[in-house]
Amino acid sequence: MTTALANDTDHGLFGPGSVTWRVMGEPVLIVGGIRALLLQALHPRTMWGTAQNSELMDPRSAWARLERTVEFVRVRTYGTHAEVDRVGRRVRNLHARLRGVDLTTGETFAVDEPENLLWVHLGEVDSYLDVARRAGVPLTAAEADAFVDEQRRAAEVVGLDPASVPGSVGEMRDYYAAMRGEIWACEEAKLGLRRMFNPAVPRKLMPLKLAAPAVGTLVVSTLPRWARRMYGLPGLPTSDLAATLTLKSLYRTTRVIPERYRYSPDARRALDLTRAAPEAEELTAAS
């Protein structure tokens, strides 16, 4: 796929001035991406639909699937409208063909049921935002709300009606409170958690396997206390504090790395466009 942002006049779903562009490029949000997977797995139908239709549960193929997911998020965040439309159609068409079986009732369900899609969407949004704020990425309460609102555009890409998607931190908090009685850690979710500490990775990425226990411990500690308890793990306030301090340390450490190494090519280009935007607005006003 061609590098996103190839057309400077088409910034896709977000663009300069968006909170999304300011937040999503930070390296510490890798923790948020992994956290999202664990949070999403707590919706049994979502987990069963994924496990029964994908390579996620096959250690030999799981890494390739993860890479495709990362690429989808990259294009959705930084791609042009045409690029986003293309990956969105592919994902929607794929999901529309898939069915899962509810292992508690035997009922067959569509993987792209709105409830499943919404749970997955908010798992991402909550995870990215929570990790960013706890790490110390500068965000006011209004900007946090703006991030959640902007992500409704991303929800539309996978087939959701943006009007049905929470658009603020408060609305997202209410959604999770309402869902608590509907979710739990099924066996497939618990298996995924265990594999996170000993992942099957390509030989060239073997150092990641060595780092997995430490990364996994941090990721689990960033989950909400109720989510940790669903996995059968302690939900202690001390774990929250330790995770927050570690995230802040990681964020401060990355800030001393030169930007050309700290950010991906797409994130660097987004940063450059964002910095240029106020100057462009001043020139337009003066002309």
In degrees and rounded to multiples of 5, residue 3 shows phi and psi of: -65, 135
- Per-residue model confidence (pLDDT) at position 284: 32
DSSP 224: -
- Per-residue model confidence (pLDDT) at position 56: 58
Which among 111, 119, 109, 62 has a CA at the least distance from the CA of 91? 111
Interhelix angle for 114-135 vs 169-179, to 10°? Answer: 120
In degrees and rounded to multiples of 5, residue 264 shows phi and psi of: -70, 165
Are 159 and 92 within 8 A, CB to CB?
yes
Q: Could you tell me the residue ranges of all domains in the chain?
A: 19-263
- Per-residue model confidence (pLDDT) at position 32: 97
pLDDT string in tens for the chain (287-residue length): 344 444 568 999 999 999 999 999 999 999 999 999 999 999 999 999 999 987 656 666 777 778 889 999 999 999 999 999 999 999 999 999 999 999 999 999 999 999 999 999 999 999 999 999 999 999 999 999 999 999 999 999 999 999 999 999 999 999 999 999 999 999 999 999 999 998 877 777 788 888 999 999 999 999 999 999 999 999 888 899 999 999 999 999 999 999 999 999 999 999 999 998 864 443 333 32
- Per-residue model confidence (pLDDT) at position 65: 79
Are 62 and 78 within 8 A, CB to CB?
no
- Cα distances (Å, whole numbers) of residue 22 to 111, 137, 166: 32, 9, 21
Rounded distance between C-alpha atoms, residue 167 and residue 56, angstroms: 30
Rounded distance between C-alpha atoms, residue 71 and residue 87, angstroms: 9
Which among 72, 77, 98 has a CA at the least distance from the CA of 87? 72
Are 34 and 215 within 8 A, CB to CB?
yes
* Residue ranges of E strands in the chain: 99-101, 108-110
- Per-residue model confidence (pLDDT) at position 206: 80
Strand (E) or helix (H) holding 221: helix 206-222
Helix, strand, coil: what percent of the chain each, to 5? 70, 0, 30
Q: Is 211 left (phi over 0), alpha (psi -120 to 50) or beta?
A: alpha
Which among 208, 213, 207 has a CA at the least distance from the CA of 193? 213
What's the alpha-carbon Rg for the chain, to the nearest Å?
A: 19
Rounded distance between C-alpha atoms, residue 42 and residue 183, angstroms: 6
Q: Is 110 left (phi over 0), alpha (psi -120 to 50) or beta?
A: beta
- Per-residue model confidence (pLDDT) at position 59: 64
Q: Which residues pair with 101 in a beta bridge?
A: 108
Question: pTM (2 decimals)?
Answer: 0.91
